[in-house]
Structure 1
Amino acid sequence: MSDLSSLLRDALNDPATGWSLGAFGAIAEFIRDPDEPVVLRGDGPELEARTARGGLRLRPVPAIRPVPYRTRNGGLAVALCLPRHVGAMNRRGVVTELGPDREAIAEADRGTLLFDLGLEVFQTDVCVRSADPATIARLRAVVGTELLAPGNPLPPDLPALSPDRVFIGPFGRIEVSQPIPPPNGRSPEGPHTHVLPKLLAHGRTHAATVPIPDGWVPSLYLSPPAGSHAAWEELGR
């Protein structure tokens, strides 16, 4: 655990590291630029990085199993996995108001209302957060409904509303404060999210190309800098 915590702390401090949290069809990514102002916290049990565009929090736990693997382009990625029986989240199936986001990374956001979008993702609560009265009213109007059901009025308006996205896993979260692109638009540089209904419909915890061992579930991924590849591969043996 100490080796894993040390590698995670080093990765958090390195802006070359990319992070993602979610499942097949719904994922949040946290990336920051080398010269981008960032607030880092790594002197306790939690590791945090926060910029104006988004944030990441990790709470490393002993049950984490790092699974390094090579991507299609030959780079190294690491899936941080938990046993399936402890890796599940709430799997809500309808839009649900959760109240203030008391676990928000920034203290200023801890009174802001959090809504689970009800996507029923096994290892991730896919949520949005807003303090805007008009956005809150729109979200409350669809509480209790299936977001992706035909005719739901909210999805077409989400790009204009662009609430913060908050993806929450068993030992961490990624928050994204950038705009949601329109259906045919491009995701912004830096932190962003993808929710792809056709992929979500498969109900997979991860892509078939990711070699997750049987009985385990990936909770968070990182793409570590090249200088740490050997250490991650050794840890994953």
Structure 2
Amino acid sequence: MDEPLETGALLASMFGAEGHLWSVGTLSAFMALEGCGTPEQTPSGLILAAGGSRARLRPGAQLLAFETLSSDPRGWNHGIALCLPGTPGKPSGRITRVSDDDPIIPADRGHPVLDLGLGQGPVRALFRPASEDAFAAAGLAWSEAAAILAPLPGEWIVDTPVLRVERAGAVLHSVPQALETGRSHAETTPVPPGLIPLAHVFPPHPARHRPGEPMAFDPARHARFQAILSRHGRPDLWALKQEVMAQLAEGRFAPPETDRHGATVVRVALRQHLHLQGPPPREWLDRFDRPLLRALEEGPGR
């Protein structure tokens, strides 16, 4: 039997699971996977039909678990990036007509689709139109074609080697700056050089139902993600977090030297300490997390 935290078993347990939010793609083209259900194991991968979409999960991803700051001064975010080696490159931004050689439904193989020119590295963003008229957009720039294609019937697709999502309706998102810069992911995500995050999964959070909807802290949810973080997080950042937590537990204050991502780790540890043990010592807050300090001074709910 696979270990629960082993990559394949972990992803399979979260695919279609209630409360787990998924997205596929990079900043230039990404799509949410909504709904929950029971995936079907097929020769081509694990297939999930839920929320008006179809999704296929395949093995091969390198996982990167991470924690980042949220806009709530007491809160944090967490997630798991599904990565592959490589560099993203800059999207072409040009629409072309191509053949779909790896659809989820075998009967769709070889059908013509529009490549939207938004892909980076191994990511492709496609549109499978219901009418031949849509292919008149071939040759246009995405900036010209987006408004033309959005109301047309068809399926929007984000395809990667590890996760593919197909969904009817205009649900594809693109960050315009990413088309210019070629950046594949948010700078706050601590992705090591040489990896591209192709998809993300966001497990249930221990302190909120969803962004903006706090809940009573759930220690079991917290422990679950910490186990994932210890196995699939960046080892240097996990070691830093363990050191900070040990200092807090022992009443010591020997502030570590940190870069941007390291400082985030310290701040997340302080915010989690608030839920686990109570307010952190002021010297830590003065040095690393003034927003949390102000929120505590202003009282509950701030």
Question: Counterpart amino acid of 2:35?
Answer: R
Instruction: Work out which of the residue numbers 5, 8, 12 in structure 2 matches 1:5.
Output: 8
Larger Rg: 2
Match of 2:173, SS state, is: strand
Aligned length: 208
> C-alpha distance in 1, partners of 2:19/2:134?
37
Task: State the Cα distance separating 1:175 from its structure 2 match.
Answer: 1.5
Partner of 1:188: none
Partner of 1:189: none
Structure 1 residues 59 and 210: CA distance shift in structure 2, 3 A: same
Partner of 1:184: none
Match of 1:121, SS state, is: coil
Partner of 1:72: 69
Structure 1 residues 108 and 156: CA distance shift in structure 2, 3 A: same
Matched, 1:167 2:158: yes
> C-alpha distance in 2, partners of 1:54/1:89?
28
Structure 1 residues 28 and 89: CA distance shift in structure 2, 3 A: farther
Partner of 1:84: 86
Is this contact kept in 2: 1:45–1:60, CA < 8 A?
no
Deviations 1:10-45 (CA, angstroms, capped at 9, x unpaired): 001412211111112321110215xxxx46213667
Question: Counterpart amino acid of 1:157?
Answer: I
> C-alpha distance in 2, partners of 1:129/1:89?
24
Alignment of 1:80-229 (within 5 A): 80-84=82-86, 94-99=94-99, 101-107=100-106, 109-110=108-109, 112-130=111-129, 132-133=130-131, 136-139=132-135, 141-148=136-143, 152=144, 154-177=145-168, 179-180=169-170, 192-226=171-205, 227=221, 228-229=224-225
> C-alpha distance in 1, partners of 2:62/2:101?
28
Structure 1 residues 90 and 172: CA distance shift in structure 2, 3 A: farther
Question: Counterpart amino acid of 1:156?
Answer: A
Match of 2:39, SS state, is: strand
Match of 1:201, SS state, is: helix
Partner of 2:254: none
Structure 1 residues 170 and 107: CA distance shift in structure 2, 3 A: closer
Task: State the Cα distance separating 1:230 from its structure 2 match.
Answer: 3.0
Is this contact kept in 2: 1:98–1:114, CA < 8 A?
yes
Task: State the Cα distance separating 1:167 from its structure 2 match.
Answer: 0.6
Structure 1 residues 102 and 39: CA distance shift in structure 2, 3 A: farther
Q: What runs of 5+ residues in structure 2 fail to find an aligned partner?
A: 71-75, 206-220, 236-302
Structure 1 residues 92 and 11: CA distance shift in structure 2, 3 A: same
Question: Counterpart amino acid of 2:227?
Answer: A
TM-score under structure 2 length normalisation: 0.60
TM-score under structure 1 length normalisation: 0.75
Runs of 4+ deviating beyond 4 Å = 88-93, 107-112
Structure 1 residues 220 and 209: CA distance shift in structure 2, 3 A: same
Structure 1 residues 59 and 65: CA distance shift in structure 2, 3 A: same
Q: What runs of 5+ residues in structure 1 fail to find an aligned partner?
A: 181-191
Question: Counterpart amino acid of 2:82?
Answer: L
Partner of 1:20: 23
Task: State the Cα distance separating 1:89 from its structure 2 match.
Answer: 9.2
Structure 1 residues 94 and 199: CA distance shift in structure 2, 3 A: closer
Instruction: Identify the structure with the greater strand proportion.
Output: 1
Instruction: Identify the structure with the greater helix proportion.
Output: 2
Deviations 1:185-208 (CA, angstroms, capped at 9, x unpaired): xxxxxxx32123234222101111
